[in-house]
Structure 1
Amino acid sequence: MFSSSQDYLPAFVLPLVDLLRSGGPVVALLLILSVVAFALVIAKLLQFQLLRVGRHGPSRKALDLWLDGARSEALKRVSASKSVMSDILQKLMRRGLHASTDTTHLKEDIERVCNARINMLRAWLRPLDMIAQTAPLIGLLGTVLGMIEAFQAMQGAGAAVDPSVLAGGIWVALLTTAVGLTIAIPISAIVGWFDGRIEAEQAEMEAMVTAFFTGAAADRGTASVVTLDAQHAEPRYAT
């Protein structure tokens, strides 16, 4: 019945059916993990796209405007952007316009906000990493179980062992390890790529927040440094 139903399956599904038939439940479990991993990768890519991860041009321009004194224009630019970095700068700029803002407390609190944003970007990476680590082990387990079954069959056959049957059992057993590695290798590479993007975003956050409080004195030479004065509604410039 199962073989006759294959006639109604799409051509691209047939290799999967043969793979499941040869590898058994271990391959079925690995294929389920691959589907979960694929869904998580798509979700992360969409998240990075929506949060504009890696797109720092508008935020840098807004920070330059702020340091040049065009605070309204700078706030307008970061408010219009949906990136993670623009959201952090928007919080800094809105608080920087208030006379009662305590610089020390603002630095500590913006660090909390940055950590929360980084943790948000790291969401779902742990399951992906777990799949990448466990898939080869699951495949190896399937190989060990298949080898045990093959050698049990050889022992039961005694002297009448058919080498072709034994070889067939061994390659089927090795199939699960191959499937596990096929899943784990690209997932590991993708997780590394996501980690690299997040680390770059974290470094950019630290650089922009520091520049906001110091006025980017190192880049601007003798330019004025923006400081917050509790007695004034506007930031003052200290040379």
Structure 2
Amino acid sequence: MLEQVLGWARDGGPIVWLLAVASVYSLALIIVKVIDLGGVLGGAAARSAALADWRGGKLAEAQAQVTEGRYPADRVLAHGMTALAARENAEVVERELERRGNEELERMRRWLRTLEVIAMVSPLLGLLGTVLGMIQSFQELELAGGSANAAVLAGGIWQALLTTAAGLIVAIPAAIAANLLSAKVDRAAHMIEDAVSALFAAEHARSG
């Protein structure tokens, strides 16, 4: 099987090798991002308990529940509680939490754009390889003149089509991973927004 794959890579030319590199790179990115985003949606119960304590005036207890949190929403919420407990201006705190939320979002989205580019470019590279291979096949057919046969032409065509298949093999996993991971990041962003909104609502209830 390995011999056959290497033969296909050799027949497909440099574009297949380029796609092979893109495949290894995208697989590494997928693994890294799956690990990186593994726990971004957790901690909801602890945050709810912290907000309930905040609403009840137990500021120290509320802060303790999220200060050591490892989730993005925990980190943003912890900073908001610290700032509000220090009686900083609510509008200033809100702007700072928005900035910190954007930082968390940017960190979670890191490398996802690269996966999207790989998913978009790989089929185009495959198509380019196929077109170049077809051009070469028809040039050989023209040079062969009357001695050309269908077997020679078919051999050139299937070799050219290898690059299209390789491009799709690279693009499909990258596209699926990019979409699933982006959806996870979007859910994490909503959790950050909900936590910040709930904090200000709890602060209003506590103060008023």
Distance 2:192 2:51 in 1: 12
C-alpha distance in 1 between matches for 2:101 and 2:6: 47
Cα distance, 1:160 vs structure 2: 1.1
- Show the 5 A alignment for 1:92-131: 92-99=80-87, 101-131=88-118
User: Which whole-Å CA distance do the structure 2 matches of 1:186 and 1:60 have between them?
Assistant: 36
Residue 59 of structure 1 pairs with residue 47 of structure 2:
yes
Are residue 176 (structure 1) and residue 163 (structure 2) matched? yes
- Once the two structures are TM-superposed, the CA of residue 15 in structure 1 deviates from its matched residue by 3.9
Check 1:13–1:72 CA distance in 2 against 1; reply closer, same or farther (3 A cut). farther
Query: Which runs of structure 2 are paired with 1:132-143 in the superposition (5 Å)?
Result: 132-143=119-130
Matched, 1:68 2:63: no
**Residue 198 (structure 1) aligned to one of 173, 185, 190:** 185
C-alpha distance in 2 between matches for 1:123 and 1:143: 32
Uncovered stretches (5+) of structure 1, i.e. residues with no partner: 1-11, 217-223, 227-236
Bigger radius of gyration among the two: 1
Runs of 4+ more than 6 Å apart:
none
Aligned ranges for residues 1-239 of structure 1 at < 5 Å? 13-49=2-38, 52-57=39-44, 58-99=46-87, 101-215=88-202, 225-226=205-206, 237-238=207-208
C-alpha distance in 2, partners of 1:60/1:175? 54
Return 5+ residue gaps in structure 2 as ranges.
none
Q: How many residue pairs align between the two structures?
A: 207
Distance of 2:76 and 2:188 partners within structure 1: 12
Q: Cα distance 1:22–1:105, how it changes in 2: closer, same or farther (>3 A)?
A: same
- Matched to 2:96, the amino acid is D
Q: Distance in 1 between matches of 2:81 and 2:117?
A: 40
Contact 2:43–2:69 (CA under 8 A) maintained in structure 1:
no
Alignment partner of 1:179: what SS?
Answer: helix
User: What is the distance in 1 between the residues matched to 2:198 and 2:120?
Assistant: 40
Q: State the secondary structure of the residue aligned to 1:81.
A: coil
Q: 1:215 aligns to what SS in structure 2?
A: helix
Contact 2:54–2:202 (Cα < 8 Å) also in 1? no
Higher-RCO chain (CA-CA 8 Å, sequence separation at least 6): 2
- Secondary structure class of the residue paired with 1:225: helix
- The 2-side partners of 1:214 and 1:80 are apart by 23
| TM-score normalised over the length of structure 1 | 0.82
1:92-135 per-position Cα deviation (integer Å, ceiling 9, x unaligned) = 11112113x11111111111110111011111011111111100
> Given the superposition, is the C-alpha separation of residues 14 and 73 from structure 1 closer, same or farther in structure 2, using an over 3 Å criterion?
farther
Q: What is the TM-score of this pair, normalised by structure 2?
A: 0.94
CA distance in 2, matches of 1:70, 1:63: 9
Distance in 1, matches of 2:53 and 2:201, equals: 15
Rounded to whole Å, the distance in 2 between the matches of 1:204 and 1:146 is 50
User: What is the rounded CA distance, in whole Å, between the counterparts of 2:143 and 2:109 in structure 1?
Assistant: 52
Whether the 8 Å contact between 2:9 and 2:16 is mirrored in structure 1 is yes
